[in-house]
Structure 1
Amino acid sequence: MRLLLKPSYFTQSCRILFEKKFHTQVTAFSAKKVGEVIKDVERIRNIGISAHIDSGKTTLTERLLFYTGQLDQMHEVRGKDEVGAKMDFMELERQRGITIQSAATYVMWKNININIIDTPGHVDFTVEVERALRVLDGAVLVLCGVGGVQSQTLTVNRQMRRYNVPCIAFINKLDRTGANPLRVLSQLRSKLGHNAAFLQLPIGLEEHLEGVIDLITMKALYFQEPQGMKIVEEEIPEDLLSLAKEKRQELIEHVADADETLGEIFLDEREPTVTELQDAIRRATIKRQFTPVMLGSALKNRGVQPLLDGILEYMPNPSQVTNYVIDNSNEEEMKTVMDPERTDEKPLVALAFKLEAGKFGQLTYMRMYQGGLKRGDTIFNTRTGKKTKVARLVRMHADEMQEVSEAYAGDICALFGVDCASGDTFVTKGNMNLSMESMFVAEPVIAMSIKPAKNSDLDNFSKGIARFTKEDPTFKVHWDDDNKETIAQGMGELHLDIYAQRLEREFNCKVVLGRPRVSFKESLKEPVSFDYLHKKQSGGRGEFARVSGDVAPLPVEENTKLDFQDKTVGTNVPKPFIPAVNVGFRDYCEKGPLTGHRVSGVVFNLRDGANHPVDSSDRAFQHAAHGAMKHVFTHGEWQILEPVMMVEVNIPEEFQTAVMAGLNRRNAVPLNDMFGYSNELRSQTQGKGEFTMEYSRYCPVSMDTTEKLIQEFQESDEQGKKRKKN
C-alpha cells in the first residue's frame, strides 16, 4: 500500500507557527541560555542519534543544531560548498562522507537542554555506538524511508536493548523515490519486535512531500520556505482524513496495550484527550513498551521541529531512568540505585565513556550519574586508585569547547588531564568502594600486519598506536614473536584502513598494512577429563600441585568466551591457589593446538586436586594448569571457528543473478571469503551496487579451510624455527 502523493492546497484558516524572524530570536535566546547550569533535572534530555549507515543521522543532527540556533547555516555531509556537517569535524570524515567518531553537542529547545551524541553507522565503528548508548537516557533510531530496517539497524536495536534505552523511531528520506513508511513500520514491528505506531502521517511522498499530519492533535503541518523555517498548521486534507482517523485509532490501540491507564480509557470506549494520549505515550516509551514513529526528510527540512518536540515530550529526563552503582565494600556486591538529584550533597559517581586526544592533551568524556563536580575538585579512579585534580571542565559542541565551572547528575561533560581507560568509574574521596558496570566491547574479527614505511618514523608510529589503542578498545596491536611483525586487530578492513590513514595525517607516519587475516579461534568438540600432578623436587625449592577435573565446550551462543568454574569441595586445593589455576588455564589458551589461534568456547571445571604444606605455591598451581591443558590439547578433538558475517547487498534487480552467483562462490558469509568483495561487486553492477557487512557469530570452518590453515601454521612454525637457529 502506498500513501497518496497528491499535494494539498493551503486554506485561508492557516496559522503561522514559526517564521524566519523568530529564528533570530531563538538563536539569541539559545546562545544566552545553553551554557548555564540547569538546576531542574526535568529540563535535561540525553539522547543519541543512531542508525544504519547512510540513513541520514548526521544530516538530521545538522538540522537539530540549526533549528535550535546552534548553527547559523546548514551544511551537507558531501555538500558542494565543501564545508561539511558540523558534527563530522574530522578531515577524514568530511573526505569520505561518513561518521567515524561519535561527537557530542548540546542544544536548547523550548527552554529544555538536550545533550546529543551523533554516532557512526558503519559496523566497523560500532564501539562508538556502544559507549554512547551506555550513558544515554534515550535515542532517536533513524530509519531510511527506502531501505527500512537494515543490517546495522539490527545491531543498534540490540545495543539499545542491552542498555535498556527507550527510543523514538524517525523514518527519514521520505523525499526519495521509492519511500514507503508503511513498509518500514511493518519491518520495525516484525524484524525488530517493537510495539510501534505512527504519531504522524506524511502529506505526499517522494518529490511531493510537503509536510506531516499530527495524529495526536489531528492537524496538518506544512514546512514552507527552502529551509523549512515557516511551519503552517491547517486542517487535515479531506483525501487523507479517513486514513488519519484510522491510524490514530491504531495508535491508541498500540499504546493501550502498553499503558494501563490508557487501556482503561480504551475499554471504556472513551476518546482520550490530547494530554491523556501524550502522557500514555511518554509512560509506555520510557518503559520500552512502545516506540513512537515520526516522519520526515532531514535533507529537505521536513519534520525536524516536530521531532524536537517529540524528544522533549516522550524521551525521559535523567530522574526517570534508574541507574545502579555497585557497592564493593562487602564480599557480596550490592547494587544500589543512584540519586539523580542535581546537588553535590550526594557522593560523586561518574563514568568515563570516551577518550579523545586533543591539542590540549587527553580529553575524557564523562557522564555524571550522582552528585556534582566543580573545577578544583579531586576525584579518584576506582579501578587504579589514582587521584586527579579537575583543572578544566568543559562541554563539547562537536570540536568546540565551552568552559563550565560545575556539572551535576545528568550532565555530559569533558575533563582534561585524567589518566584513565574507557569505562572507568570516578568518585570523590571515601567512596572507592563504588563502581559502575562498564560497556560491552566486541572482540576484533580481523588482523593485519602493520609497520611504518620508514624506520625513522618508528617513534611517531609508537605514539600513534599507543593513543589509538587507548581511545578505541576494539583496536588492538601486539607483537607477533613467531613472525617477527606487529599485528593490528580491528572490526573490519575499513576500521584498520582508517587508523592507517590517521597515523599518516596526525602523526606524519606512513604505514604499510599486510594482507588481512581473520581472527580464527579454536574450540573443543567433546569434554576431556584431566588429572595432572606437577612435581619438582630437585634444585632449589620444591614445587607440588595437583589438579583434576575436565574441560568442556560451552554452548554455541557462548563460543567466544573462556570460563573457569571452581567446583572443588574441601581443602585439597586451598582457595588462595584457585586464582592461580585460572591464570594458568587462560595463559595456555592463548595458542591452540591446531593452528596457534586463541582457544575459546570452553570451560575449565576444577573438581579436585592436592597440595603440599611447603612446596605448593601460585607458581606450582599455574604449572599444573598448564600441564592439564597440555593433556587436553593432546587428547581432545578440536575444531577451528571463524567469524561469520551478516551481509546485506543492495543492487539493481537486473544484476541479481550475477551477484548471487558471486556470493555463492564466496560461500556467502564467512569473513575469510569476503575480502576484496567491494571491487567484485562494483564490477558486477557497473558501480551501482553497495553492501554492508557486520559480525554475526563464530561457526566451525569447512574441512578444506581446516586443512589449509593447519598446513599454513605448520609451514610458518618451521620457518620460525629456522629463523631462531640462524
Structure 2
Amino acid sequence: MRRGLSILSRAVLLSSSTISKGGIYECLLFKYGIFINQNVSTLTDVSPAEREQLSHTRNIGISAHIDSGKTTLTERILFYTGKIRDIHEVKGKDGVGAKMDSMELEREKGITIQSAATYCRWKDKQINIIDTPGHVDFTIEVERALRVLDGAIMVLCGVGGVQSQSITVDRQMKRYDVPRVVFINKLDRMGANPWRVINMARDKLRLNAAAVQIPMGLEEHHAGVVDLIDRKAYIFEGPKGETVTAIEVPTDFKADMEARRKELVERLSEVDDEIADLFLSEAEVPPDVLHAAVRRATLALKFQPVFMGSAFKNKGVQLLLDGVSRYLPSPTDVSNRALALDENEASFQLPCSPSGPFVGLAFKLEEGRYGQLTYLRIYSGRVKKGDYIINMSNGKKVRVPRLVRMHSDEMEDINAASAGDIVAIFGVDCASGDTFTDGTQRFAMTSIRVPEPVMSLALIPKAPEQMGNFMKALTRFQKEDPTFRVSSNSETGEIIISGMGELHLEIYVERMRREYNVECEVGKPKVSFRETIRQRAEFNYTHKKQSGGSGQFGRVIGYIEPLPDTGEQVSTEGPRRFEFDNALQGNDIPPEFHPAIEKGFAEAANSGALIGAPVENVRVVLQDGASHPVDSNELAFRVAAIQGFRQAYQNASPIILEPIMKVEVTIPSEYQGTIMGDLNRRKGIIMDSTTSGDDCIIQCEVPLNSMFGYSSVLRSNTQGKGEYSMAYSHHSPVTRDLEEELTTAFSKSGGRAGSASA
C-alpha cells in the first residue's frame, strides 16, 4: 500500500500535466482518499447540448397559507399528468386521502406536516414537485424546499387572499430568489374575488403581479378561464375536468379581456424594454412576443404572472402546468452559488453541468423502513448507484448503496442521476445541509436558514421502561427536523423539547406515541430561578457530634457578602458566580481540611433557603475556626461549612431572581398598540420601537415566566402575521407577590429543591 502511494506521489510530481479530470491517476488518488484541488476557474460552462437537455426539466415547489388548496392542486397535477389513476381528496370520505399526504396524522388532521416530493411529465417537460406544509409551525419544510428549487407556484385563496403564511412564504421566496407564478384558487367559493387578491398581492407582498387569465364567471357560475395573451377561452369538461376545450371568447367577456390585457402589457412595460417600446408606440403586442416577455420578467424576479381556477372543481390546472413549462426556469436558468473551501470560502457560480464535478446538497432527512432516507438536489455532475461520494462537512467517504426517485411515500429505483435532478439515497449518514462531492474538489453549497424555536415543553415518559424508545424518538426527530431541539435542564432535571409552536410539538408527542409506543407526560417547563443576597452577614458555627469513640468536631467563623456588580451577564447554563476566600491565619484549622470547607460552602450555595434554587453572586470569606486533634475530620468541617452558610444566609436579606429575556417582536404596524399593551401586561419593559416598511420592530425585556404560550397569543393578536425571537439577558429580582407564591409552594412541598414553579 505504501509502495503504491509512493509511486503515485512521484507520478503526480513528475507528470502532473498529464493528469486530467476523469484520468486514471485521479481515480487512483480518489480511491486512496487523496483530494485533488480543482480551481474554480477551471470549471467549464454548460454545453449547448446539455442546456437543451436541461431545458425540459422543472424543479418547482407548491407553497401557500394553510388550507389554500396546495395538496388538492398537487393531486390534480398528478392526475392530469398520468402519475395517479384517480383523484382523492384531503380528508376525503373514501378514507384514502391525497397522495402527497402519506402520513396517517396528515390524513386525520387534513393538513400537510412534512414536505413530500414527486415527479411527473407534462408534454415534453419533466417536472419535479415538492408539496410543502402551509402551517407556520412547519415553516422549516418550506424553507429547505425553496432552498433547492428553481421555481415555485404560490397559491392564494380566491376568498382569503394574502393571509399570514402567504407573507412568510413570500419572504422565503425572496430570500432564495425563487421565481414564481401565482395561482388564485377556489374561485368557485362564495365571495371569491381574484381582483381583490391581486391588489392584496401588490400592496402587502409588493409584487408586480398581473393576470394572464380572467375567470369566466365566479362562485357557482365559474365555468372556465380566458387566456389574455392568446385571446382564447377554455372550458374543462368530463367527470374530472380532464378534457380541455378551446372556444371563442364569449361576447360578455371580450371587453374585460381587452382591458385586462392592456393592464398586463402596461405592467410588463415597466420592467421590459421591448414591451415598453411597443406600449409607448401603442402598437399591438403579438402573443409570442408577450409570452417571451413574461418569461424574461418572471426569471428576472421582476414580474409574477397570475393564473386562475379551482383545483377542487378541476378547472384551470392544465393551463397552470402550461404556464409552469413556459415561464418558470430550467436548472440552467438560475444561478447556483457555491463556496470554494480551499479559497477562503469564496462564493462562485457553479455551472449546472452534467459533465462537471459531482456536487449535491442533502436538504431533507427521513427515517424510513430501510434506514435513513436522504433527499439530494444535484447541482453538478452525475452520481450512480455504487459510487463513492465524500461528505464535505466531515471528510468521510461513503458509498451510494441505493438511488431512488420519490413519489410521496413510494420509491422508484434508478441507476444514475445528474445535474438538475432531485433524488433520494439510502444508507448515508449525514445531517441536513451537508454537501457531497466526488472528491475531485472541495466545494460546499450555501446553507439553509433555520429559524430559532419559539416554544418549549417539558416531557417525561409515563413508564420508566419506555425511556429507551423515548430517547430513540428524540434523536430521530432532531435529525429530521432542525427546528426541533432537545435539551436537559441540569437544575430542574427536566427534558425540554423546543419547536416552532404548539401544533409542531403536539405532532411530535403524538408521533412518539404512535411510532414508538411511548406515552409522555407533558407540562410547562420549570423556570430556572436563582437566589442571591443583598447584604453582608456573619457566621460562627460549631459542629459537634459525640456517640462513643471518635466523634466529629469542626468550627468555622467568617461572613458572606454579595459580589460587586461587574456588569457581566450570567449564563443560564454556565457556572454561577460563587467565590470562596480563605483568609485564615495561623493553624487553628489544619490545611488538609481547607478543601473540605470550600466544598461544603459550594454545596450549600447549590440550594438557597427560600425556594431551594441555586445561590449566585455570593462570596464566602473564612476568617477563623477551631479543630480537635481527635474528632476533627473532612466530614465534620464540610457539615460545619454547610450549616455556617445557612446560618448567615437567613440574615443576608436573600431574594429570588428570575431570568429576563431579550425579546424582539416583528409585527405589521397596525398591531403596534395591541402588542405593546400585551407586553406591558406581561411585566415587559419596552426598550425600543422602530418602523421598517410596513413592519414595526419592538425590542423589550420580559420575564421568561411570562413568555410561555406567547407564540399562540401573538398569532391570535396579529392574525398570524407576527414573529418574535427571544434570547437570555440576565436574572432580575422577582416581584413581592411572585416571591410569596414561590416560597409558599416550596414550603408546602416539604422544602424539595426544584419544586417551586410559577
TM-score by length of 1: 0.71
Partners of 1:225 and 1:467 in 2: CA distance: 46
Which residue does 1:156 correspond to in 2? 169
Match of 1:390 among 397, 400, 416: 400
- Find the residue that maps to 2:342 and give its secondary structure: coil
Q: CA deviation at 1:357?
A: 0.4
Q: 1:342 aligns with which of 339, 351, 354?
A: 354
DSSP 3-state at the match of 1:40: helix
1:266 aligned residue = 279
1:644–1:699 Cα contact (<8 Å) kept: no
C-alpha distance in structure 2 between counterparts of 1:519 and 1:249, whole Å: 64
1:196 maps to which residue? 209
Q: Which residue of structure 2 lines up, in the alignment, with residue 77 of structure 1?
A: 90
Please state if 1:440 is matched with 2:449. yes
Whether the 8 Å contact between 1:666 and 1:673 is mirrored in structure 2 is no
- 1:452 counterpart = 2:461: yes
SS of match in other structure, 2:55? helix
**Aligned equivalent of 2:723:** 695
Q: Give the residue type in structure 2 aligned to 1:92.
A: L
Tell me the alpha carbon deviations over residues 76-95 of structure 1, each in whole angstroms, 9 at most, x when there is no partner: 00111111000000000000
After superposition, the C-alpha distances for 1:134-193 in whole angstroms (9 at most, x for unaligned) are: 000000000000100011110000000000001001000111111110100000000000
Alignment partner of 2:436: what SS? strand
Which residue of 415, 425, 429 maps to 1:405? 415
Give yes or no for the alignment of 1:510 onto 2:519.
yes
Partner of 1:67: 80
Q: Does 2:374 align with 1:361?
A: no
Contact 2:454 2:726 in 1 (8 A): no
Letter of the 2:487 partner, please give it: H
Residue by residue over 1:317-345, the C-alpha shift from the partner in whole angstroms, topping out at 9 and shown as x without a partner, is: 00000101110213x332121111223xx
Question: Is 361-370 or 668-677 further displaced after alignment?
Answer: 668-677
Aligned to 2:424: 414
Distance in 1 (CA, whole Å) between partners of 2:83 and 2:278 is 41
| CA contact 1:368–1:411 (8 Å) conserved in 2 | yes
Structure-2 change in CA distance of 1:376 and 1:700 (3 Å): closer
Alpha-carbon distance in structure 1 between the residues aligned to 2:238 and 2:250: 20
Please list the CA deviations of residues 461-485 of structure 1 after superposition, one character each: whole Å capped at 9, or x if unmatched. Answer: 1111100000000000111111111
Percent sequence identity over matched residues? 48
Letter in 1 for 2:220: E
Residues 244 and 391 of structure 1: CA distance in aligned 2, closer, same or farther (over 3 Å): same
Paired letter, 1:462:
M
User: Which one is further off, 471-480 or 707-716?
Assistant: 707-716
CA change 1:318–1:500 in 2 (3 A) is same
Normalization by structure 2: what TM-score?
A: 0.68
- Give the aligned CA root-mean-square deviation in angstroms: 3.9
In 2, Cα distance between equivalents of 1:721 and 1:97: 48
Worse overlay, 88-97 or 266-275? 266-275
Q: 2:515 & 2:430 partners in 1: Cα distance?
A: 22
> Taking structure 1 as reference, are residues 430 and 478 closer, same or farther at Cα in structure 2, changes over 3 Å only?
same
CA contact (8 A) 2:224 2:233 kept: yes
User: Matches of residues 243-392 of structure 1 in structure 2 within 5 Å?
Assistant: 243-330=256-343, 332-343=344-355, 346-392=356-402
SS at match of 2:440: coil
Distance 2:477 2:496 in 1: 14
Alpha-carbon displacement from aligned partner over 1:270-308 (angstroms, at most 9, x marks no partner): 212111100110010011100000001000001000000
The amino acid across from 1:336 in the alignment is: F
Structure 1 residue 675: deviation in Å? 7.6
Measure, in 1, the Cα distance between the counterparts of 2:451 and 2:144: 11
2:85 match: secondary structure: coil
- What is the identity, as a one-letter code, of the residue corresponding to 1:156? V
Residues 224 and 161 (structure 1), Cα distance of their counterparts in 2 relative to 1, 3 Å cut: same
Partners of 1:461 and 1:712 in 2: CA distance = 37
For the pair 1:46 / 2:42, whether they are aligned, the reply is no
Give the distance between the partners of 1:519 and 1:252, measured in 2 at CA.
Answer: 61
Cα pair 2:71 2:131 within 8 Å, conserved: yes
Residue 692 of structure 1: CA displacement? Answer: 4.4
**How much does 1:256 deviate?**
1.5
Larger CA deviation: 304-313 vs 251-260: 251-260
C-alpha contact 2:79 2:86 (8 A) present in aligned 1: yes
Amino acid at match of 1:269: E
2:54–2:332: 8 Å Cα contact kept in structure 1?
yes
Whole-angstrom distance in 1 between the partners of 2:456 and 2:193: 40
The whole-number CA distance in structure 1 between the counterparts of 2:527 and 2:264 is: 47
Matches of 2:711 and 2:478, distance apart in 1: 24
- Please state whether the residue corresponding to 1:500 is helix, strand or coil: helix
Find the aligned partners of 1:721 and 1:390 in 2 and give their Cα distance: 58
Aligned to 2:179: 166
Distance 1:64 1:714, change over 3 A: same
Q: Is the 8 A contact 2:660 2:732 kept in 1?
A: no
AA at the equivalent of 1:497: E
Aligned mates of 2:67, 2:88 — CA distance in 1? 16
The 3 A distance-change label for structure 1 pair 590 and 278 is farther
Distance 2:528 2:152 in 1: 32
Describe the SS at the equivalent of 1:302. coil
- Which of 1 and 2 has greater Rg? 2
State how many pairs are aligned: 563
Rounded Cα–Cα distance in structure 1 between residues aligned with 2:750 and 2:419: 56
Q: Which amino acid aligns with 2:662?
A: L
1:240 deviates by: 1.5
Query: How many angstroms apart in 2 are the aligned matches of 1:402 and 1:501?
Result: 30
CA change 1:252–1:478 in 2 (3 A) is: same
Rounded to whole Å, the distance in 1 between the matches of 2:750 and 2:483 is 29
Q: 1:223 to 1:663 in 2, by over 3 A?
A: farther
| Shift of residue 229, structure 1, vs aligned partner | 1.3
Alignment partner of 1:258: what SS? coil
Alpha-carbon deviation of 1:672?
Answer: 3.9
Q: CA deviation at 1:676?
A: 7.7
Structure 2 vs 1, CA of residues 448 and 199 (structure 1 numbering), >3 Å: closer, same or farther?
same
CA–CA distance in 2 between the matches of 1:500 and 1:114? 35
Q: Could you report, residue by residue, the CA deviation over 1:648-697 in whole angstroms, capped at 9, with x for unpaired residues?
A: 9xxxxxxxxxxxx999999999964658879x99xxxxxxx996475345
Contact 2:406 2:424 (8 Å CA) reproduced: yes
- Quote how far apart the aligned CAs of 1:515 are: 2.3
Per-residue CA deviation, residues 99-139 of structure 1 (Å, 9 max, x unaligned), is: 00000000100121000000000000000000000000000
Distance 1:707 1:386 in 2: 54
Counterpart of 1:429 (choices 429, 433, 439) is 439
Shift of 1:640: 2.9
Q: Structure 1 residues 428 and 309, CA, compared in 2 at 3 Å: closer, same or farther?
A: same
Summarize deviations over 1:239-295 as a string: whole Å, max 9, x none.
Answer: 211111000010011112111222222233221211110011001001110000000
Check 1:71–1:413 CA distance in 2 against 1; reply closer, same or farther (3 A cut): same
Over residues 30-77 of structure 1, what are the superposed CA-to-partner deviations in whole Å (9 max), with x where a residue is unaligned?
xxxxxxx99810110000000000000000000000000001100000
Q: How far does residue 704 in structure 1 lie from its aligned partner after superposition?
A: 12
Q: Verify the 8 A CA contact 1:445 1:643 in the aligned structure 2.
A: no
Contact kept, 8 Å, 1:318 with 1:340, in 2: the verdict is yes
Shift in Å, 1:398: 0.1
Task: Give how far 1:237 is off.
Answer: 1.5
Query: Counterpart of 2:221?
Result: 208
For 2:99, the equivalent position in structure 1 comes to 86
Alignment match of 1:229 (pick from 242, 248, 253) = 242
Report the CA distance shift for 1:388/1:54 in structure 2 as closer, same or farther (over 3 A). Answer: same
Counterpart residue number, 2:192: 179
Question: 1:103 aligned to 2:124?
Answer: no
